[in-house]
Every structure is written in C-alpha cells, then in structure tokens.
Homo-oligomer: A and B are copies of this chain.
Amino acid sequence: MQVRSEAPSSRTRVRRHPERAAYEHGAIAAILDEALLAHLGLVQDGLPVVIPTMYVRDDDRLYIHGSKAARWVQLLTGGADVCLSVTLLDGLVLARSAFRHSMNYRSVVIYGRPKLIEDHDEQLRACALLVEHVVPGRAREARAPNQKELEATAIFSLSIVESSAKSRAGGPLDVEEDADIPTWAGVIPATLVFGSPIADALAQPKAEPSAEVAAYRRGGAREPS
C-alpha cells in the first residue's frame, strides 16, 4: 500500500484548512471502516444527483452495490464518474461568535469511475464483505445470495487511490477580541450509539443474536468526554 503525504490529484487536495487534511491510506481507511453510509454523487443529464448508499472497503478499493433497476446503477454501468463522500459527525463546536461555530468531523472524499464486477466469485465475495462491514461474522450466519438475487444486483469496485481525508477536532477557535465574551463555549460530543437488538416477529425460539450483534458498536477516535 502506497504511503502518501501529498494529495494524489488536484481535485483531492484540501485547499480550505489544509492543516485538517490527511492523504495516508491508514487515515482514510480508518474513517471508511468506521462509517456505514456514503453519499455518492454523479451526473445525470448534466445535473447533479446524490445517492445515500452503503459500501465496504477491501484494501485499496470500495465495493458498492445496487439494484440493476435503479437509474444511478445504470449510469455507473455505463461508466459514469463519481464523487463518494463519507462523513462522521463527532461534535458540535460552540464558539463565542456565531461565525466561529463549527462541527467536529472525520470525512473522506473519493473520486473515480466504478468498475462493474462481472466475475461470479468476486460478486459473491463482495456481497459477503458488504454484510461483514455492517456486522462482523454475519456473512457466515446469513444465507448467501442465490443466482436470481445476484442477477438483480450490480456490484462495482471503486479504487480509493484518488482520495483524501479531512477532519476537525477540539474546541472553538475564537478570535482574541472575543475572549472576554462571557458566553459558555466548548464542544458537545456526538456519537452514533447502537441500542439493544430487537428480534423480528418470525424469530425462531432458539435463535440468539451473536456476540457481535448483542454488544454492537463501531470503534474509532471519539471526542474526549
């Protein structure tokens, strides 16, 4: 895996607050592995479209998937360029001035052209990884996709080579002349918390959630609290 300290392309270079940028694979991978949702941007008839979707990272690529009936999936099959954005919200930053209010976050942006996976074994492997990204071990517990299901689904790989991370942490950056304003200032930490699993109506009497499901959480750097 390539180690980078510079942006891999002009459009991935972070221009606003360059001190918040990271271009190393490890920093980018950690954010992609913790998050669940991406927002996928593409161009349809010259106009922008954004699709929320799940994904999984596999080394230096992402897998994404969707129904072959969806318009955005048909655009990708036709070779569309995408911009994929992943954002984790870590906190609300309350400053002494309205202008310096901000949010703490960790984000990744990836540019590229997803490639349709046509190999059956890679399709099955990508489906398993997509499930594993949500719950480790789950691909072994669930029935694998059958031929009909695979045929209804398009799976794409997207190289994460053209990507960058950007993050903000810590308290407000008030200007010096605001230091005496007696308003409380600081950070309200935000975390995505997972509750106790709720069994569905068809649950088999002996079916017990796995340890990963019963104590589900997603790791990652958090706001100190």
Report which A residues bind B (CB closer than 8 A): 11, 15-16, 36-37, 39-43, 46-52, 54, 67, 69-71, 81-85, 87, 89, 92, 94-99, 101, 103, 105, 107, 109, 111, 127-128, 130-131, 134-135, 138-139, 141-146, 149, 153, 171-172, 174, 178-204, 206-210, 213, 216, 223-225
Contacts and interface: CB of A to CB of B under 8 A. Distances in A.
B189 A87 contact: no
Contact of A198 (B99, B111, B187): B187
Contacts of A203: 184-186
10 contacts: A43-B46, A47-B81, A50-B109, A97-B145, A185-B199, A185-B207, A186-B200, A188-B197, A193-B193, A198-B224
Contacts of A143: 96-98, 178, 181
B141 A36 contact: no
A43 B71 CA distance: 18
A188 B189 CA distance: 22
A170 B20 CA distance: 39
A186 B199 CA distance: 4
A40 B15 CA distance: 18
B85 A51 contact: yes
A106 to B, nearest CB: 11
A54 B89 CA distance: 11
Nearest to A222: B195
A46 to B, nearest CB: 7
A133 B103 CA distance: 13
A97 B41 contact: no
A189 B171 CA distance: 30
Contacts of A191: 192-193, 195
B223 A198 contact: yes
Contact of A186 (B109, B144, B198): B198
A41 B146 CA distance: 35
Contacts of A153: 99
